[in-house]
Amino acid sequence: MEDATMKIVDLKATVLDDVMHNAIIVRVDTDEGISGYGEAHGLKEPILNLKRFIIGEDPTDVERVMLKIRHRGGYKPWGSAVSAVEMALWDIAGKAAGLPVYKLLGGKVRDRVRVYCDCGAGVPLEPGGSPYTPEAYAEKARRRLRLPQKFTIFKFDIGLHGKQLYSVPGGVLEAEGTYPDRGHATEVGLKAEIECVKAIKEVLGDKVGLALDCGPGQTLPAAIRLAKALEPFNVMWAEDLLQGDYSPFTDVEAYKILTQSTSTPTLTGEHIYLRYGFRDLIEKRAVSIVAPDVMDVGGIAETKFIAELADLYGVLIAPHSLGLPISFMANVHAAAAMPKNFIAFEFHMADNPWWEDIIKGVEKPLIKDGYAAIPDKPGLGFELNEKEVRKHLAEGEKYFE
């Protein structure tokens, strides 16, 4: 009897230019003409190396396929290839079933998904001026408040992330400007961090949430002092105070000491791969909020599972995201099905004029009144805009050829 199940016949990838931090669009093709899309970052080779393990598999058996490749990922950036394939498999499974991906994850809990805006550092007030003064941060906050998306949460970089502390003479010991870095903030450095936060809060007031990306990583004593100094400002969270982006490990016990030392919510997780990497962090309540990235943690279902695990322990979730509308839509589907511990997921492309143009067939603008709509079309709910993608291919790159 002839096998009538759908089969994977190809895996392709195409790299976009540096404007998108070398974002990579991944396409999984099947013998029934249905293709699914995912997104990765970093290098194309680790993605294409997965091809031999998934050819001939039924893409709608998502977990069965993932069992063949999940062990080939690791802490950021090495989990990105696996995560991209997982997104594409769900896209195919949804299209084959005629259902949006969130329906396959258990259905939606909310009718729209909150999105928060990453703002980076400040904006220079004059040509050649510093983006790290309190006035520069205040001006960036004023500009972000005028964005048409009307975000309700903004995140700014202080500390080592965004290099704010490096701009303060004598502000930090041992840090050398490498990434990810580590250093001990001095009294003058701590005061400079707080002055920037004070300036932002004076603009935002208490009607708009302020989160802070403090970057990997300050020493534990410096992190505790900063977190305690932030308490009067009621910030949404202080992110990656110890380890974070591109860190190859997470010191759970140190994060637990930090979190128990302050009422300022703590957050980390964008660098962590799989639910196993989050288990101790969540079970020990070492942070207040976890921040898996769908492009690094293992994909859509993995992100949703982590939300469920966190919810058991009273830990919140605010997924990290930096990429194209493909990973954006993956986040929308994952967040739609998350429990009530979901806060918002990240949007990093407020200054990119063509970001939305990469996809079509979906309601635009993608963000309205600080929220993303949840699509009801099959799969991830979009079509790739080939013409626009071709405009932004990296030098020498071809379109899935």
| Tokens 């009607």, located at residue | 207
254, part of any domain: yes
322, part of any domain: yes
CATH number at residue 278: 3.20.20.120
pLDDT, tens digit (0-9, with 9 covering 90-100), for 256-280: 999 999 999 999 999 999 999 999 9
Q: 97 and 120: one domain? A: no
Predicted pLDDT of residue 350: 95
- Cα–Cα separations (whole angstroms), residue 361 to 199, 274, 357: 41, 31, 11
293, part of any domain: yes
Q: 64 and 108: one domain? A: no
Q: 323 and 179: one domain? A: yes
Q: 13 and 123: one domain? A: no
Q: 113 and 94: one domain? A: no
Q: Is the pLDDT reported for residue 191 higher than 70?
A: yes
pTM: 0.97
182, part of any domain: yes
- How far is 219 from 66, CA to CA, in rounded Å? 37
Q: 80 and 195: one domain? A: no
Q: 217 and 262: one domain? A: yes
401, part of any domain: no
72, part of any domain: yes
In this structure, what DSSP letter does residue 394 have? P
Q: 158 and 214: one domain? A: yes
Can you point out the beta strands (E) in 195-253? 209-213, 238-239
Query: Is the preceding omega at residue 77 within 30 degrees of 0, hence cis?
Result: yes
By DSSP bridging, strand 112-120 and strand 184-185 are: unpaired
Q: Is the pLDDT reported for residue 221 higher than 70?
A: yes
Q: 127 and 44: one domain? A: no
pLDDT, tens digit (0-9, with 9 covering 90-100), for 101-134: 999 999 999 999 999 999 999 999 999 999 999 9
Burial of 17 (0-12, 13-18, 19+ CB in 10 A): middle
Q: 184 and 62: one domain? A: no
Q: 249 and 140: one domain? A: yes
Predicted pLDDT of residue 179: 86
Predicted pLDDT of residue 21: 67
Contact 76, 56 (CB under 8 A): no
Please give the tally of structural domains in the chain.
Answer: 2
pLDDT-derived band of residue 376, with 50, 70 and 90 as boundaries?
Answer: very high
CATH number at residue 21: 3.30.390.10
Token pair of 61, please? Answer: 């058996």
> Which of 105, 99, 82, 74 has its CA nearest to residue 11?
82
Residue 369 CB: number of other CB atoms within 10 A? Answer: 11
Predicted pLDDT of residue 268: 98
pLDDT-derived band of residue 213, with 50, 70 and 90 as boundaries?
Answer: very high
Token pair of 325, please? Answer: 């509308």
Q: Is the pLDDT reported for residue 1 higher than 60?
A: no
CB under 8 A, 24+ apart: contacts of 276-283: 277/75, 277/250, 278/306, 278/309, 278/310, 279/309, 280/252, 281/250, 281/252, 281/255, 282/306, 282/309, 282/310, 282/312, 282/313, 282/315, 283/313
pLDDT-derived band of residue 58, with 50, 70 and 90 as boundaries?
Answer: very high
89, part of any domain: yes
Predicted pLDDT of residue 260: 98
Can you point out the beta strands (E) in 17-158? 24-30, 35-40, 112-120, 153-157
Q: 259 and 366: one domain? A: yes
Mean pLDDT, rounded, for 141-149:
98
Choice between 162 and 299, residue whose per-residue pLDDT is larger: 299
Q: Is the pLDDT reported for residue 2 higher than 70?
A: no
* Dihedrals phi, psi of 63, to nearest 5 degrees: -65, -35
Q: What percent of the chain has pLDDT over 70?
A: 99
Which 3 state secondary structure label does DSSP give 168?
Answer: coil
Q: In which domain, by residue range, is 135 found? A: 104-379
Q: What value does the mean pLDDT of the chain take?
A: 96
112, part of any domain: yes
